[in-house]
Structure 1
Amino acid sequence: MTVNLFVILCSLVLWVDNGVHSLQKPVRKFPEGFKFGAATAAYQVEGAWNEDGKGPSIWDDLTHTHPSPISDGSTGDVAADTYHLWKSDVELMKQLGLDFYRFSISWSRILPTGFADQINQKGIDYYDNLITELLKNKIEPMVTLYHWDLPSSLQKLGGLANPLIVEWFEQYARVVFDKFGDKVKYWITINEPKQICYEGYGSTAKAPQLNMTGIAEYICAKNVLLSHAKVYHLYDENYRYKQNGQIGISVSCTWYEPASDTIEDHQAAEDARQFDWGQYIHPIFSKTGDFPLSLKNNVRLRSKEQGFLRSRLPVLSSEEIVYIRGSSDFLGINSYTTKLTYRDASLEGMYPVPSYMDDMSAVMVKDASWPQAQSSWLQSVPWGFYKILTQVRYLYDNPAVWITENGWSTSGGLIDNDRVKYYRTYLSALLDAVEEGSNIKGYTAWSLFDNFEWMSGYADKFGIFEVDFKDPKRKRTPRKSAHVYKEIIRSRSLDMNYEVDDKTVLAPTQVVEKDYVEGY
């Protein structure tokens, strides 16, 4: 396979000694106008899964399966109950000092069948009340149209493997823009296409567990890109001039570092990056458009070897390439961790054939020295975060970037020093990239609350606010990280020496006893 020398040179240029980006400067200021927020997703926090006319989603279907595929057997039926606690939750956001709140709309809460002929007014009212309350408290709503909870009825028709999803998504978006567009100025079309397509359609790691790897995730990828572009153009042509908002997409980005300095491992890392996030960023943000060349070549060659008459990766026509290219006002980056990547010919046959992983032909591992979160996939590697931001700047002409998710999981407890350290080191890496010219507009902590963490249920705690899931009132309590994040937002600076007394964190007045956190 031909090695992309440019990418190897970029990797060498971007190589920064791990120690440099772990240096802790006492106080670092964020740029003028930089925004701070926190995020949630509808299925993970709302609850009220069948209340007030809401229709079922693919996650309702999956979590109600017996035996349960969720590790702790739980569901999102109640979750953090933000459907009922939205007003006091906004009060928490206000006390935290958030500039914006990123949340998603449940498609089936406002369109129970998935189609626009039946609009659920109670669902519309819920989101309108939430948005109005946010604005009343000077918190900007950042709204994600699709964060994985596809209406069940649409999945029965093939979901994101059906090209008609492009039309269905446009119809849904039109309803949302009509109802909320005069109040919402930041839109995200789709959250984490790779997780939707590879984990949901190519494997059993997410709903709808289609498990048709090597074929389904590529069909899904094309349909996701066209759906995103369709809604972008809908907004651009019909709503932007009167609503004056911006619209983008959020892509999960893991940094894949060569495990050694061999040509093979550099190529394996490059292939992994292009399969993981280049597959979705390149068609939108590159000057040429289309899927990345290494992705196309890998799938084409493997398909031919396996006896397929043509590549399993669908072709984007010249018209589709033009339609998708440039269809974003900003790039949302969800980033958490880094993996070491290598290529080992002796491991031939370790992946199913055909499959996404076999097409990539890369092996990903973690370094045992990296700090480990509660979630098995998550390790703290801030220099990898820096490299993602820097490579996006180099490869895609420095687009406007919002960090739309970044966070750390624990097993619970209010004294979450590991999360505090994670946030600080990742924000320091972000500032390194900003100081070198990266056009980063804001940062979003994942997550505001402990939530239903997909296949892990409630075992992995990502919230800066603890939620007591045993309490019918779903009591919220700020963790130490909430206090530290509040100070970062207040001061617009990163002070590695700022300390919060553990006794303050554990004080009873910090616990939500009634409507909000008194004295916080």
Structure 2
Amino acid sequence: MTRYFKDYADLCFESFGDRVKHWITFSNPWAIAEEGYETGQHAPGLKLGSVGAYKAAHHIIKAHAEVWHSYHKKWRHGQQGLVGISLSSAWGEPVDLSNKTDVEVAERYMQFSLGWFANPLFHGDYPGVMKDYVGRKSAEQGTPSRLPAFSAQEKNYIKGTADFLGIGHFTTYYVAQKSYPPLGTSYFTDRDLVELVDPRWPESGSKGLYSVPWGFRRLLNFLKVQYGNPLIYVTENGISEKLPCAQLCDNWRIDYIKGYTNEMLKAIKDGVNIQGYTVWSLLDKFEWNQGYSERFGLYYVDFQNLNKPRYPKASVHYYKEIIKANGFPNAKEVASWHHQAADICSLGSRLLMTEPLASHMEMVTEIVVPTVFTLCILIGAVLLLLLLRNHH
């Protein structure tokens, strides 16, 4: 599969490399491996346990390295592009910063999520704590470690194969040591910890997604320290709708974007090498195994309508102003953005309310009228044939 993936990437480089200068080999490989090959929640839907997740991740990492080396040897000189990967992770905060065990558990949380993929690409091997814990849990079951090992040659080949690090981030958890022995063997029991939330954190329409802006800055500084301050592009950051119905006046999304971009700007002042940010997402769209039921878009999409019309939510205007100002110039101006966004979403809501009538009229003119017309012609033809037969 690693060779097939390299061939596919070479075709992409050959076809689009004169225009595309930033390449992401895999987006959120954690979800591909754990939810695609362990639990089967995502495609391809295989329930192979933690062995499946660790094997899939192992081959993803090797495939990424193959592609990076291919680009470096064959395409980089002529195309002058960059090849990276996009990893997604929450931030794990110790319950008690003064407690050594809590700090160690939080470090383990981050190494099992981000370090699983980032450590091989930046340091040549899986995190030590991950190898220790998976190896220990496997030994308790009387088996060799379920986490595959890289050969010395593979470690050298994989290390340094990321021109940039893409990062997707949505939420934060407090983490603590489990107070009871884990049951069974899985990626989650290997970590040997629990995730906790503060009941005061604002919720979203997605399970486990809370608005905790301060965790974003800490995550970005973690990347800086762990991986030698790499070039970072924030590839995903956003929040979903709280209700299944259309909500164009999405003040909670405005608050989320404001809080998270502010913390990112603080991280830039901390010296984190962030070169780009992308909110998730431009449009309501297909979201993994949730399909179209979770809406993260700045634009509401009416999926029931044949033409899929789009309506700007209040966050569209607000985000546009942040981009235009490259940050937050002053409190008074930022407050005015909020007022203008409210006016825009009110207009959009009125348009959306008239859409069902418009859709009904569209159905009448595009489907019902032609169908009735066709039936009339057919009935007329049948009557004419009967008339001619009787006359004969």
**Superposed, which structure 2 residues align to 1:91-130 within 5 Å?**
none
Aligned to 1:499: 338
Spell out, residue by residue over 1:265-303, the C-alpha distance to the aligned partner (whole angstroms, 9 max, x if none).
2222211111111111111123xx200000000011111
Separation (CA, whole Å) in 1 of partners of 2:81 and 2:351: 37
Spell out, residue by residue over 1:80-101, the C-alpha distance to the aligned partner (whole angstroms, 9 max, x if none).
xxxxxxxxxxxxxxxxxxxxxx
**Superposed, which structure 2 residues align to 1:22-421 within 5 Å?**
165-261=1-97, 262-286=99-123, 289-308=124-143, 310-345=144-179, 347-349=180-182, 351=183, 353-410=184-241, 411=243, 412-421=246-255
The alignment's TM-score, normalised by the length of structure 2, stands at: 0.84
Aligned-residue sequence identity (percent) comes to 38
How much does 1:508 deviate? 5.3
Separation (CA, whole Å) in 2 of partners of 1:359 and 1:315: 17
Spell out, residue by residue over 1:197-234, the C-alpha distance to the aligned partner (whole angstroms, 9 max, x if none).
01111113211221222211111111010000111111
How much does 1:509 deviate? 11
Spell out, residue by residue over 1:85-122, the C-alpha distance to the aligned partner (whole angstroms, 9 max, x if none).
xxxxxxxxxxxxxxxxxxxxxxxxxxxxxxxxxxxxxx
Aligned to 1:427: 261
Aligned to 2:283: 449
Contact 2:202/2:210 (<8 A) preserved = yes
Change in CA separation of 1:325 and 1:357 when aligned onto 2, cut-off 3 Å: same
Contact 1:250/1:333 (<8 A) preserved = yes
Contact 1:415/1:505 (<8 A) preserved = yes
Spell out, residue by residue over 1:154-213, the C-alpha distance to the aligned partner (whole angstroms, 9 max, x if none).
xxxxxxxxxxx1011011111111111111111101001111101111113211221222
Separation (CA, whole Å) in 2 of partners of 1:256 and 1:417: 26
Q: Any idea what SS the aligned residue of 1:407 has? A: coil
Separation (CA, whole Å) in 1 of partners of 2:280 and 2:147: 32
Unaligned runs of 5+ in 1: 1-164, 514-520
Query: Whose relative contact order is higher, 1 or 2, with alpha carbons under 8 Å and at least 6 apart?
Result: 1
Separation (CA, whole Å) in 2 of partners of 1:442 and 1:295: 30
Contact 1:484/1:500 (<8 A) preserved = no
In structure 1, give the amino acid aligned to 2:118. I
Separation (CA, whole Å) in 1 of partners of 2:280 and 2:207: 17
Q: Any idea what SS the aligned residue of 1:446 has? A: coil
Unaligned runs of 5+ in 2: 356-392
Separation (CA, whole Å) in 1 of partners of 2:321 and 2:351: 19
Runs of 4+ in 1 over 3 A off after TM superposition: 508-513
How much does 1:344 deviate? 2.5
Q: If each structure's helix is expressed as a fraction of its own residues, which one has the higher value?
A: 2
Contact 1:478/1:511 (<8 A) preserved = no
Q: Any idea what SS the aligned residue of 2:134 has? A: helix
Q: Any idea what SS the aligned residue of 1:486 has? A: helix
Contact 2:28/2:88 (<8 A) preserved = yes
Contact 1:342/1:362 (<8 A) preserved = yes
Aligned to 1:103: none
Aligned to 2:387: none
Separation (CA, whole Å) in 1 of partners of 2:82 and 2:7: 19
The aligned length equals 344
Residues 360-369 or 263-272, more deviating: 263-272
Contact 1:477/1:510 (<8 A) preserved = no
Contact 1:476/1:511 (<8 A) preserved = no
Contact 1:190/1:249 (<8 A) preserved = yes
Q: Any idea what SS the aligned residue of 1:215 has? A: helix
Q: Any idea what SS the aligned residue of 1:452 has? A: coil
In structure 2, give the amino acid aligned to 1:375. S
In structure 1, give the amino acid aligned to 2:78. K
Separation (CA, whole Å) in 2 of partners of 1:209 and 1:260: 38
Aligned: 1:482 with 2:316: yes
Aligned to 1:151: none
How much does 1:511 deviate? 6.2
Q: Any idea what SS the aligned residue of 2:59 has? A: helix
Aligned-residue RMSD, C-alpha: 1.8
Contact 2:30/2:87 (<8 A) preserved = yes
In structure 1, give the amino acid aligned to 2:260. Y
Separation (CA, whole Å) in 1 of partners of 2:127 and 2:94: 19
Change in CA separation of 1:510 and 1:188 when aligned onto 2, cut-off 3 Å: farther
Separation (CA, whole Å) in 1 of partners of 2:290 and 2:166: 24
Q: Any idea what SS the aligned residue of 1:187 has? A: strand
How much does 1:357 deviate? 1.2
The alignment's TM-score, normalised by the length of structure 1, stands at: 0.64
Contact 1:475/1:511 (<8 A) preserved = no
Separation (CA, whole Å) in 2 of partners of 1:166 and 1:335: 27
Separation (CA, whole Å) in 1 of partners of 2:50 and 2:345: 49
Separation (CA, whole Å) in 2 of partners of 1:243 and 1:507: 46
